[in-house]
């Protein structure tokens, strides 16, 4: 039986991003759960701000097409989402929006978000652990794109002190939750294959 393929990325490209650390740790846990994992950085897929007129005149940018095709080759996706002003980052929202606009001939709308399973998590230095960004991300994925997002999610509070020197989570409860999410995402992605 082939391993389920899971794509992992963070909604931040900032140097030293806590969410990039969370994404890296998710990769480790997903591999231990039996997944074939691809980790990317959105820095490698720059795109203009979504603009309907630009889409009409030029179509979706090539990087939106590449990301959409990459998502289509994976049965699962894990997104680590920072919190900006009680919501998701402009980078992450723009990425979701552009991917949602890529449609190949004969393909149903929002194909990149269908027939795969998503898991989400977030880390912030504050006491909410990016919870508000996860609420906005879940709404965008589930209601806006029709994606299946597992109910479990991880919020890493006080992220500046949450990771040890090996980039593992210090708090056992959080570490166990990430492990459970990774296993559930892997199991559900396997069912999608």
Q: Is it the case that residue 162 has pLDDT exceeding 80?
A: yes
Report the topology of domain 5-192.
Rossmann fold (3.40.50)
Q: Report the pLDDT averaged over residues 12-39.
A: 97
Any residues with CB less than 8 A from the CB of 75 and at least 6 apart, and which? 4, 5, 6, 116, 117, 189, 190, 192, 193
Domains of the chain: which residue ranges? 5-192
Contact partners, residue 138, CB within 8 Å, separation at least 6: 120, 149, 153
pLDDT at 2 over 90: no
Instruction: Give the model confidence (pLDDT) of 107-160 as tens digits.
Output: 999 999 999 999 999 999 999 999 999 999 999 999 999 999 999 999 999 999
The whole-number pLDDT of residue 144 equals 97
CA dihedral 73, 9, 101, 55 (to 10 degrees): -130
d(CA 48, CA 4): 32
Q: Mean per-residue pLDDT for 172-188?
A: 98
Q: What is the pLDDT of residues 33-92, one digit of tens each?
A: 999 999 999 999 999 999 999 999 999 999 999 999 999 999 999 999 999 999 999 999
pLDDT at 192 over 90: no
Q: Has residue 1 got a pLDDT over 80?
A: no
Give me the pLDDT at residue 193, please: 79
């Amino acid at each position: 039986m082939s391993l389920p393929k899971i794509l992992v990325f963070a909604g931040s490209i900032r140097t030293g991003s806590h969410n990039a650390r969370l994404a890296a740790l998710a990769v480790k846990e997903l591999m231990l759960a039996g997944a074939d994992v691809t980790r990317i950085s959105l820095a490698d897929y720059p795109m203009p701000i979504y603009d309907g007129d630009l889409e009409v005149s030029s179509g979706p940018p090539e990087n939106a097409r590449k990301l959409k095709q990459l998502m289509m080759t994976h049965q699962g996706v894990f997104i680590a989402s920072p919190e900006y002003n009680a919501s998701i980052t402009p980078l992450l929202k723009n990425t979701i929006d552009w991917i949602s606009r890529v449609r190949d001939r004969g393909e149903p709308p929002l194909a990149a978000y269908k027939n795969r399973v998503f898991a989400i998590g977030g880390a912030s230095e504050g006491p909410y652990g990016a919870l508000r960004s996860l609420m906005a991300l879940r709404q965008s994925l589930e209601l806006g794109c029709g994606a299946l997002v597992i109910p479990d999610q991880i919020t890493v509070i006080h992220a500046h002190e949450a990771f040890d020197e090996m980039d593992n989570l210090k708090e056992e409860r959080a570490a166990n939750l990430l492990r459970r999410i990774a296993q559930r995402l892997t199991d559900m992605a396997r069912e999608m294959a």
